[in-house]
Amino acid sequence: MRILSGIQPSGKLHIGNYLGAMRQHLELQDRGEAFYFIADFHALTTVKEPQALREHVRDVALDYLALGLDPARCTFYRQSDIHEVPELTWLLTTVTPMGLLERCHSYKDKLAKGLSPDHGLFAYPVLMAADILIVDSNVVPVGKDQKQHVEVTRDIAQRFNNTYGLEVFVIPEDRILPETGVVPGIDGQKMSKSYGNDIGIFLEGKALKERVMAVVTDSAPVEAPKDPDANNVFNLLKLFVSKEEEAEWRERFLKGGLKYSDAKKRLIAVLDETFGPARERRKELVRRPDYVEEVLREGARKVRPIAAATLARARKACGID
């Protein structure tokens, strides 16, 4: 079983990214033949500063490797190193109906947020289909909000196969990642880089303390009972502690006498316990830029023969031999 997932380098990764996808990516390394790529072509729809994009790509690579992505157990590469992807994207574009792309939720959502409707934003799902199909992926792990992208890929692949009367592409299946629930940001909204309410995975010391202490709470007096489920600190804390500790904190909230600062201090400690070792590994990796670059290049070297064979089938089917 070949598993594929992409990570867009659009900014610093935060604990919402870790809980929502990264943790599952790390677990899936041992569930099949895992392929993970840094989607720098995709990032061009929003990141327009070249140096910022280079830094984001480097940061994503460092973050994943520090957290435990193992090049010996998976294939980790940069999307733009697979030169076959843009050509396959064009071949797929020629069989993709406009209506299919117009119905995509991500396109409509981004328009609603005021992003300029350029062709890259509109055709984003075709590039994603090329990413998935180029390596003959069987399974694509996604959250519920991205399920449509895999459905679009399946539709495009089947249309291509039917148009040319050949089984050129493997038809992938989605695998819905386990729900972690909404990870609240420091303001209580869903944690997001775009909202500026995130807590970075690799924050530590004073920077981490300032961020956690800024988590919004109500003005209830210390002695008052408090609803844990309506409290941003509790809703973050429960994502990282054991069920037993979660129950203890719930009881403390309900009976009153709890200082929010005590819960925040525990959250800082839990984040240090969870990510402390990865932070140290990341510092070591920063001192080894050549190693990180070689990991990505070696991943591309593994992918390109597969991509070349897929593209050759698609070209031949079209009559471009």
- The CATH number that applies at residue 198 is 1.10.240.10
Whole-number pLDDT of residue 248: 97
Whole-number pLDDT of residue 180: 67
- H or E segment to which residue 3 belongs: strand 2-7
Q: Is 190 a catalytic residue?
A: yes
pLDDT in tens, 150-170: 999 999 999 999 999 999 999
Residues 273, 297 share a domain: no
Instruction: Give the domain CATH number at 40.
Output: 3.40.50.620
What angle, 0 to 180 degrees and rounded to 10, lies between the N-to-C axes of helices 147-164 and 84-93? 70
Residue 45, C-beta contacts closer than 8 angstroms, at least 6 positions apart: 115, 118, 120, 121, 124
Active-site position among 147, 193, 265, 302: 193
pLDDT along the chain (321 residues), means of 10: 92 89 91 96 92 96 97 97 98 95 79 77 93 96 83 96 97 82 90 90 97 95 94 96 97 95 97 97 97 98 98 97 82
Residues 154, 298 share a domain: yes
Asked whether residue 199 is assigned to any structural domain, the reply reads: yes
CB 238 within 8 A of CB 249: yes
Whole-number pLDDT of residue 258: 95
Asked whether residue 214 is assigned to any structural domain, the reply reads: yes
Asked whether residue 186 is assigned to any structural domain, the reply reads: no
Active-site position among 12, 108, 144, 190: 190
CB 126 within 8 A of CB 41: no
Residues 174, 203 share a domain: no
Neighbours of 273 (CB within 10 A): 11
Residues 130, 49 share a domain: yes
Q: Is 193 a catalytic residue?
A: yes
Residues 28, 73 share a domain: yes
For residue 87, count CB atoms less than 10 angstroms from its CB and return exposed for 0-12, middle for 13-18, buried for 19 or more: middle
Distance separating alpha carbons of residues 250 and 70, to the nearest angstrom = 37
Give the total number of structural domains in the chain: 2
pLDDT in tens, 50-93: 999 999 999 999 999 999 999 999 999 999 999 999 999 999 99
Residues 173, 137 share a domain: yes
Asked whether residue 187 is assigned to any structural domain, the reply reads: no
CB 126 within 8 A of CB 101: yes
Residues 154, 9 share a domain: yes
Whole-number pLDDT of residue 70: 97
Residue 21, C-beta contacts closer than 8 angstroms, at least 6 positions apart: 5, 7, 141, 143, 177
pTM of the shown model: 0.91
DSSP per position, 217-259: -----TTS---GGG-HHHHHHTTTS-HHHHHHHHHHHHHS---
Asked whether residue 188 is assigned to any structural domain, the reply reads: no
Residues 130, 21 share a domain: yes
Residues 244, 300 share a domain: no
Distance separating alpha carbons of residues 41 and 265, to the nearest angstrom = 40
- Provide long-range contacts, Cβ within 8 A and 24+ apart, for 293-297: 295/61, 295/65, 295/71, 295/76, 296/38, 296/61, 296/76, 296/77, 296/78, 296/81, 297/81
Asked whether residue 130 is assigned to any structural domain, the reply reads: yes
Between the CA of residue 92 and those of 168, 285, 311, what are the distances in Å? Answer: 12, 38, 11
Whole-number pLDDT of residue 148: 86
Residues 55, 96 share a domain: yes
| Domain that includes residue 45, residue range | 2-181+289-318
Computed on alpha carbons and rounded to an integer, the radius of gyration of the chain in Å comes to 22
Asked whether residue 76 is assigned to any structural domain, the reply reads: yes
Residues 295, 259 share a domain: no
Query: Rounded to a whole number, what is the distance in angstroms from the first to the last CA of the chain?
Result: 30
Longest dimension (CA), the chain: 77
Active-site position among 12, 48, 108, 110: 110
Residues 92, 34 share a domain: yes
In this structure, what DSSP letter does residue 10 have?
Answer: S
